[in-house]
Structure formats: structure tokens, C-alpha cells
Structure 1
Amino acid sequence: MKEASSDAPLKLSAVRSRALVGRQRPPGDKSISHRALLLGLLCVGETTIEGLLEGEDVLRTAEACRALGATVTRGAAGRWSVRGAGLGSLVAPRETLDFGNAGTGSRLMMGVVAGHPIAARFDGDASLRKRPMRRVLEPLIKQGARVLEEHEGGRLPILLQGSGAPFPIEYLTPVASAQIKSAVLLAGLNSPGRTVVMEREASRDHTEKMLNHFGARVTVEPYNGSGRRIALEGRPNLRATTVRVPADPSSAAFPLAAALVVPGSDVLIESVMINPLRCGLIETLLEMGADITIENRRGESGEEVADLRARYSRNLRGVEVPAARAPSMIDEYPILAVIAAFAAGGTIMRGLSELRVKESDRLAAIAAGLEANGVSCNIQGDDLYVEGAGGAVRGSGLVKTHLDHRIAMSFLIMGLASNESVTVDDASMIATSFPDFRELMGSLGASFA
């Protein structure tokens, strides 16, 4: 049974589980799914997407692509097709583009709209309306877009007027953010010149790789040591193609983590993206002593993919996670904090300011959830310290999710290995990124009530 989206909270508990055993493929990567739809929209011809994530966030992006002129259809077994309107030929949407909880979809689509002579109103749910948009809008304004209406503090709802000839700009991102970078590059696609984005720390590079996969000319060079300089030639001849979406490493993190902390577990997670800029969690877990092996490495649609085997790891130990690793695992800190609770000794996660502007204030939500279940932790500035219990987590707490799917899933995983059950106040939003979470975990042996 899929988690249904509803206005009514769906309280859910996880109880101590028997050993988790089996093999599963988590849903398609959310980042790749959003980008495949958007670039399909900007091509003339039919793009085929295999393994698209059919969570609510991505479906909102699909609906927005329809509103801008694409024909988007679902075939059998998660196979989707997008017959695009073509770069420079989008139509103005008649209705508001409602992105629900989809922060990535809304921000990247702002880049698409900014590069076309159309106006579009963007909106979302209560959670998305709290999230800042100004840092995405600022470079788009430099490219020629205009913000006709916005809510206080640069938040949704926003009415954005794009430009038919975006200015080619050079832009240094204020923080390592794939969403800012991607919005600028997507707006720059319809520019009559070269758009350049520079970042001091490398962020996820899915947009650059997928642009190349669709025929755009993108070059990437080192910048300022650990950063990158990305240059895009405007008005390319984008070609419709096939995109095979790998399993989302952020979703794979949940069965992987469960296997590490539930005694006797042995789980194989298939076809997971292992892009080096998304592997911060794996790197950290190996440092903690996790029994994880990477098997069957291969390439698909420009991304590196592999199978991950995770076994119960009795002797996990606390580590220090440097701030420089945050861009490669920003969505995985909630589940890392849960694993750290089962490790021996303290784990320090540094430089987590970005967690304060996610679906919730994730930093505060993580700490509150840990404390509710008997785990000692504290926040110092933008750092989180978790004192591991060496395998003995009390549980019994009620976790407030604040409409955040990753908080919900992380603490349900905690309940599978805790002495007592763990309950989340609302699991309904899990459908935004992992609609079959309960079914997949249940097939491995997990117990929910």
C-alpha cells in the first residue's frame, strides 16, 4: 500500500525488527527525474524516461511541463515519454504552477521560465511557502527575468516574468547549491551567448551531465581549488533522447542504514547512483566501520551506477564529518544522525547551515527526534553532536516530522533497531520521494504499525 497524500496526519510506528534480508531497487533518483522532465520539455521530439520516480514531487514537475506545452505520458512499468515544446517555444501557463512540496522542481522550473518570454505564477504547500527563493531569483534577475509579485522575504507565491533573450552572465554562487547553479544554466540555455557559473565548493553536477546527454555544450573546469567553473554555450540544438534513471542514493540510504543497525541483516540494494558528488554518506559510513561493498559498477545515461551490499555492523564508531562533505550528502544527515545514535562514541557533523532551509529546519528536527528517543545530542552553531549508545537506543519517542519526508523515514528506521518502538506524527509526506517505502522495507522484513 502506497503512502497516500492526505490533509489528515498519518501516524506510524516502527517496531524492533528481525534480521532484514533480500534485494531491492529503491525508486528512481529524484534529481535525475526532475531534470529529465525539464530537458524533455525543452527538446523538439520525444524523450523516453525509464525508471522515473513516481513520487509527488516529480509528478508536480511533470504537470508543470504539461502546463508549459509538453505532452507527458506514462507507459507501462514506469516508462514515461515527453514530447517537448522546444527551447524558446514554451507557452504561458493558464493556471498557477503548484509544486506542492517540490523545492527542486520549483527552483529549476524558475530557471526554465526565466529564459522564455512568458509569465508564470509559482506556488506550493505550507512547507514550500516557508522556503527561501530569493537566492535563486537574484541571478535570474541578472539574466533579465523580472519578479512581478512575491511573498514576504522572497517566498512563494511568486509571479515570474521571463526573458526571450536572457543575458549571458558570469555568476559566483553564494553557497554550494546545485539548485542555484541549475536554475542559472537552464535560463542560460536560451541566451545568445555563454553563461558561466562558478562555485567555491563543488555541488551536485547532474544538470551539467544531463545537459551534455541532451546535446548541449557544457565545459567544467577547476575553480579556486575545490570549486568548479561551468560554462554553457547558449541556444544549443537539444536532441530528444532516452534517460535511464538510476536508483536514488538518498532513498537507498534508508534500507542501507536499516541493514547496518538491525542485527543479522544482509541486504543488496540494486542500481544505485554513485556519482562522486553524491557519495558523502557512503564515505562517512565506511569511516564509521560499516560493512558496505560496492558491486557491479557501470554507467547509465551519463551517471555511474552500482549495487550496494550492506550487512549488520556491530562495531560502528563515531567520527567527525567535515563541513566540506556537506554538499555531497546534504539530504542524508537525518539518517546519518540515526546511525550515529547506534555507534560507539560521539559523531560530530559540521557545517549544517543548509539544513535549516530544507523542508523543515532539519537540524532542529533531527535533534528533537533524537532527544525524544533517549539519544544525547546538541547543536553548536551549525554543527550537530550525537553521542552514540553503542547499539542500545531506547526508542519509545514520538517524533514531530514538520511535514519532512526524510525526518519521517529516518526515525522509522531508528524504530526497527530500538529497544522500544518509535512513532512519527505524520508519515503521509513520505510519498513525495519514496511512495513505496513501507512495501520495500516490509519485503526485507521490517515491521510497521
Structure 2
Amino acid sequence: MHHEDPQPMEFGPLGPLKGAATVPGDKSISHRALMFSALARGRSRIEGLSGGGDVMSTAAAMRAMGATIERAADGAWEVDGVGTGCLLQPANALDMGNSGTSTRLLMGLVASHPITVTFVGDASLSKRPMNRVIEPLSRIGAEFTAAPGGRLPLTVRGICPATPASHVLKVASAQVKSALLLAGLNTPGETRVFEPIPTRDHSERMLRHFGVDVRVGEHDGGRDIRLMGEAELQARAVKVPGDPSSAAFLAAAALIVPGSDVLIQGVSINPLRAGLFELLQLMGGDLVFENARDADGEPVADIRVRHSKLRAVTVPDRLVPSMIDEFPIWFVTAAFADGTSRAEGLGELRVKESDRIAAMAAGLAAIGVRAEESPEGLAIEGNGGTPVRGGGTIASQLDHRIAMSFAIAGLHADQPIGIDDMAPVATSFPPFRETIESLAA
């Protein structure tokens, strides 16, 4: 998915946001549901799959390696898997578009299969570092050829049988952990991953749902994950909950726009993903979980959010990994709080779709918000809840989260805020604008 034509848009005040809304299916869970279904024997059915471009990149890749993936008349997806160890050699390079998750997880999957696969992506993805996955996967016997700096285009020569290994994660990354577990599925013996800082555990939960022997222990504050290969995945029905990263934008909008009262239905509240919601509550945000329930091993709830007077906060270190994708929208929310908010330990944000610390600092300055950048963080001076100045045009840098964050800021601004390109939003939240407008109607 390459964005040739920019889609500039303006966002200004629309009045209070009220009513109920849903968000696209969780992107992280959607990627894994497709990959695991494609590895299972038999037909799996997936409801609520994210229709964003990133997840469609994963679907196209799994089709290219032998799985049959089709959308049923009722909107669900049906996947006929090939079985572990039976991935086919794709005829062409796999185009990952903008999806870092697809790329890193599939590198792991391919590493323990006897096939050679080349990954390509758009300009933004081609800047992102892949060495963090290349290095541990090389230890099991896979071979890699990458562009300078361990970047795309990149070729993986998988090995079968791969050598089972124990890994200690150097970076808190659910993508690296998941890549290693996926490689372990077709590796004889036990694959072990120790993560000193726990990261989102969708892979572990869903692998169990597909019948894989995954054990998780805790020690020294970290998590020790063991997986027995060669694993036979059983076809399953999967219901994908709403994406908390997408829900974050609606929650922020409801908190900052006076008179708002919004119910976001059926959202994943996995504790390793819900850090932002906890932080918004710490800031005095009126945000409550209602109708909590379980969906295929994932905790789900409806989130009720009302306009609130927010106070500044320093982000606790323990919450950083569970809200790493939500920092752009949190920076915007902090601009409306009372006092100066601070976050540190965010070095990971500099290697996302864009350098999110620099991009957000520049964008905040452009709309009249004082923000001070540090090597691994940002301090944001809040205005106590009055509208931001607005005006100006934000350079989104092909980053969907930057674009959506400043769009939300425009809902409580003196002058509309221009976004240079809203096209990348299709990777995660295609009906973003329509959803906001329906709540304002």
C-alpha cells in the first residue's frame, strides 16, 4: 500500500461529542488471528477483523504462502490454513506496505520454514530498523540479507529444522517476542523467551486459543515464556475486540471537548495495552469500564468517557510499555491539562513510523502549545482546558497516529488545524473522520 496522493484535511470544533461508537478490530490481534489461522489445519472464522491496510498486508502475505483467506457474505473472514511447516514459497516479494508488525512477525514465521522470502515496504517502513529481529532469529539458523542498517528490502532464508534457543529480550518489544514464538512453532523442542519488562501478550493468549502448549512464568518482575514445537494449531473461531489504540482517540476527544459523553463499545482492555486509560484516570479523567467480559481469552469492555478537567501528570515508568502506541494522542491530551506533564523512557518512539517525539514536539509548537523535547521524552505545558490556538498545517510524516492526534486537537482549537496528509489513517482506522462526525451529529 503506497500513498501516492496526499489527502490534506482540516479539523475544527464540531461541538460536544455524544453517543455510542465502535472502533475497528484490534490491529495486533487481527495480525495474529490471520497468521495463526493460516498455520492451522482446517477452516477458522474471524469476526471483527481490522480492515486497515496493515492487516490487509498480512492477509496478502499469508495468501502468497498458501493459505486461502476470503471474506464471507456476513463480513466475517474465513481462513483455510496450510498446517505448521507447510508454508509455500511465495512467487514474488511480499509487500508489507506500512506495517512493521506484519514484517517482524512474518520474519519469525518464515525463519523456521524451508523457504526464502523477500520483504519490501513503503518509504516509512523502509526506514525502520529490523536488526532487533534479525539478530535473535540468526541464532536459530535463519539467514538474512538486508539493506544497510538492517532495513527493508530484506530477504530471509529460512531453515528447517531450526535450532531451538533461549532468548533474553534486549528491547521491550512484543513484535520481537512474537517473532521468536512464531519461529518456535515449527522448531523441534522448547523455545524460551525471557522479557525483563512485560509487553502485550496477545500472541501467548491466542496461541493457547489455537491449542498450542505455551507456558508463562514470572520472576524478577519479568516473564518467562516457553513454547513447545513442533506445534499443531487447531482451526478456531476468533472474535477480534475493538482496538484500544483507535479507541484512545475517541476517549481523548471526549475528555477535552466540553459537554462530551461518549460510549466506545467492545474494546480490548488487555492490561498490557490499557496503560493510557489508567493514565487518563490518574489525570482526573471521567473514564469507566462497563460491561466487562471475555472474548476468546482477551478481556473486553465498553468504555464510557465524559468531558473532564484534567491535571498534569508525570507518566509512571510502569505504564510506558502498555501505552507505547498511544503517546502521540496522550501528548495532545496533556496540552489541555492543568500544569506541565512529563514522560521519559520513550526512546522507542524515535523508531516508529516517524520519529514521534520530534514530530509531536514540532506539531504542538505549530498549534501554540509549549513542549520541551529531551533525548527520550517530552514535557508538555498544559493550558487548563481552554482551546489551543490551532491554525497551521501539521506534517504527519506518513504516520497515522500523528495525523489522528492533531485532528483531535482541532476539535478544541480557536482556529482549525490542517493535516498535510490523512491518507495513512487508512492503515489503522479507515472510518476515523466519519466516526468523529457521527458523534458530533
How big is the shift at 1:78? 3.0
Sequence identity percentage? 54
**In the alignment, is residue 211 of structure 1 matched against residue 197 of structure 2?**
no
Contact 1:211 1:218 in 2 (8 A): yes
Q: Following superposition, which runs of at least 4 residues in structure 1 exceed 2 angstroms of deviation?
A: none
Task: Name 1:296's counterpart in structure 2.
Answer: 291
> 1:45-103: CA deviations, max 9, x gaps?
11110010001000010000000000000113430011011101110000000000000
Structure 2 counterpart of 1:59: 56
Match of 1:269 in 2: 264
Q: State whether residues 2 and 122 of structure 2, in contact with CA within 8 Å, keep that contact through their aligned partners in structure 1.
A: no
Q: Is 1:164 aligned to 2:160, yes or no?
A: yes
> Is structure 2 residue 192 aligned with structure 1 residue 196?
yes
Give the secondary structure class of the aligned counterpart of 2:178.
helix
CA distance in 2 between counterparts of 1:319 and 1:146 reads 46
Following TM superposition, by how much is the alpha carbon of 1:5 offset from its aligned partner in structure 2, in angstroms? 7.1
Unaligned runs of 5+ in 1: none
Distance in 2, matches of 1:5 and 1:151, equals 19
Mind listing any 5+ residue stretches in structure 2 that lack a counterpart?
A: none
Q: Which residue of 1 aligns with 2:238?
A: 243
On the 8 A contact 1:220/1:229 being kept in 2, the answer is yes
1:223 Cα shift? 2.7
Q: Aligned AA for 1:78?
A: G
What pairs with 1:60-139 in structure 2 (closer than 5 Å)? 60-139=57-136
**Offset of 1:237 from its aligned partner?**
2.1
Normalising by the residue count of structure 2, what TM-score does the alignment of the two structures yield? 0.98
Once the two structures are superposed, what CA deviation does each residue of 1:137-175 show, in whole Å capped at 9, x if it has no partner? Answer: 11111111111x210010000110111111110000101
The separation in 2 between residues aligned to 1:355 and 1:111, in whole angstroms, is 23
- Provide the rounded CA distance (Å) in 1 between the counterparts of 2:364 and 2:380: 9
Distance in structure 1 (CA, Å) of the matches to 2:210 and 2:327: 32
Please name the residue that 2:360 is paired with: 366
Greater shift in the superposed pair: 387-396 or 290-299: 387-396
Q: For 1:394, what is the secondary structure of its paired residue?
A: strand
Structure 1 Cα separation of the partners of residues 51 and 178 of structure 2: 22
Aligned partners of 1:252, 1:78: CA distance in 2, in Å?
A: 21
1:30 to 8, 27, 32: 27
Of 404, 407, 424, which aligns to 1:409?
404
Q: Is the 8 A contact 1:198 1:223 kept in 2?
A: no
For the Cα contact (< 8 Å) 1:197–1:229, is it kept in 2? Answer: yes
Are residues 1:144 and 2:138 paired? no
State whether residues 83 and 232 of structure 2, in contact with CA within 8 Å, keep that contact through their aligned partners in structure 1. no
State the number of aligned residues.
440
Quote the Cα distance in structure 2 between the aligned partners of 1:224 and 1:165.
32
Equivalents in 2 of 1:298, 1:203: separation in Å? 22
Q: Is the 8 A contact 1:5 1:428 kept in 2?
A: no
Q: Does 1:328 align with 2:304?
A: no
How far apart, CA to CA, are the structure 2 residues paired with 1:77 and 1:345? 49
Show the counterpart of 1:390.
Answer: 384
Aligned residue for 2:217? 221
Kindly state the Cα deviation for residue 272 of structure 1 after the two structures are TM-superposed: 0.4
Deviation at 1:275, TM superposition (A): 0.4
Shift of 1:16: 1.1
Structure 1, residues 367-415: CA drift from partner, whole Å, max 9, x if none? 1110000000111221210000111211112111000000000000000
Q: Deviation of residue 293 (structure 1)?
A: 1.1
